[in-house]
A = this chain, B = another copy of it.
Amino acid sequence: MTGGIERAACIGGGVIGSGWAARFALNGIDVSLYDPGPDAGSVVQAAMVNAERAFNRLFGNARPAPGALSIAGSLAEAVDGAGFIQESVPERLDLKQRVLREIDAAAGADTLIASSTSGLLPSVLQTGLKHPERLLVGHPFNPVYLLPLVEVVAGRDTAPEAVERAGGFYRSLGMKPLAVRKEIDAFIADRLQEALWREALWLVHDGVATVGEIDDAIRYSFGLRWAQMGVFQTYRLAGGEAGMRHFMEQFGPCLAWPWTKLTHVPELDDALVDAIAEQSDRQAEGLSVRDLERARDDNLIGILEALERRGPAGWGAGALLSEARQRMRERSSG
């Protein structure tokens, strides 16, 4: 049902690691989580509360009983008996390498190890492992229990069979594994996001717009488009009947003007960080992070269900949700 995996380990219990733990558990998989920090238990419990709320809305009772979620006292204890290991420790190469070597030493030789890294290369992460062939990147998006994409990236020593098994496992969780063809820093989605993010930081830095105005510019325009079609399909339609080639001819030259701050990275000095943090507080209008997470989750559920309602085949993420409902129902009665 879940690629034969009944027990998974999560190493690292921050926002991403906890999101994975919740997604695993709510798909009926037992989860053992290890995080050396003092708050690990409370972060993952909070993620579970949000995720259960979301799954109740999406699937009601037509879903399998949740797997057991336990907090392990050590990495070795978490990994023991796990059929799949997801590493989500902070984004520091030395730390990731050290933790992955510990996992490699403690785990059975054919247990898959996926790193949640946002951009480090799997070839670098697998350096020095005894069994590098079972290490790959499985990069998810917050909230992990709701968003479908997971970028699957193989390193130089990753076995093709590992990529295939990981893809099957992620699909069994209702996700959309995207195999990244070439190893490249930050893969696909985060390269795209970082390009936009850098420009957004410049706009705040230069006093062109506040964080609230930038967010409005996104969510009232192209954000709505990109929830259902990406940038290329969207621009295909901007070309009208003449299509993509016409669009490229018409707007290509703008790229060279250019319309963005190409060559510089804004320095994240105190003044800029202060401005962003303060504007972000104002934008939140007194809502706590928990309030905002629930608003976001309810919005995402509404959007996913709207795409699902679009027809028997669904559209993008809507089709995935249809399939997930079907699978959940089967597992609940099985």
Contact = CB atoms under 8 A, between A and B. Distances in A.
Interface in A146-161: 147-149, 151
A271 interface: no
A102 interface: no
Contact of A214 (B188, B213, B284): B188
A292 B237 contact: yes
Contact of A273 (B192, B207, B248, B260): B248
A181 B213 CA distance: 10
Contacts of A181: 207-209, 213
Contacts of A276: 232, 244, 248
Interface stretch (A80-88, A130-138, A251-259): A251-259
Contacts of A216: 149, 176, 178, 230, 316
A222 B255 contact: no
Query: How many A residues are at the interface, by size bracket?
Result: 35 or more
A240 B252 CA distance: 39
| Copies per complex of this chain | 2
Contacts of A26: none
Nearest to A296: B229
Interface string A256-273: 111110111110100001
Given A186-B259, A222-B189, A315-B295, A196 B198 contact: no
B180 A232 contact: no
Interface string A278-295: 011101100001101101
Contact of A193 (B142, B208, B222, B232): B222
